[in-house]
Amino acid sequence: MTEKIDKEILRHDLTEALTQHIHLLQEVEEIDEENMEAFTFMMRSFGFMLDRAPKVLYREADEDDLNYMMFQYYSLLTELKYNISMSYPYATLNDKTLLQLAESFPSTYERELKNWWEEKTGLSVDETKQTISVPEFKY
């Protein structure tokens, strides 16, 4: 049985992720040419992760809709961290690595929603990217 997930904390995480994404965009003064591909990749990833967020926050989403949105967000955030770590480990923006920036995004109920998804679908969600395991990303 999945642990109790507080809907308000999920909504807060989603709001915080949108806010952090907006602040990242606001704070960009200059992107070094060697970091442009990594930055573009990260911004596109956030776009996919947060695409449905305004709709889910605007209307009173049912529990499954909110849980699914946040399951996708948390899963894609972890995937983004793996991709940055493997492909762009030295890319920086505003004197921080992209991995540091991605690490600052909320992931409060990552494990609980992974469990919720597995219970709901009967599918097993692997915590690794292909065959690579990065212990720092385990929840």
Task: For CA atoms 105, 100, 134, 81, give the dihedral sign.
Answer: positive
Q: What is the pLDDT of residue 139?
A: 63
pTM of the model: 0.85
pLDDT digits (tens, 9 = 90+) for 31-64: 889 999 999 999 999 999 999 898 888 887 678 8
* pLDDT above 70 (res 122): yes
pLDDT digits (tens, 9 = 90+) for 67-92: 999 999 999 999 999 999 999 999 99
93 forms beta bridges with: 96
Please identify which residue in the block is written with the tokens 């909504």.
11
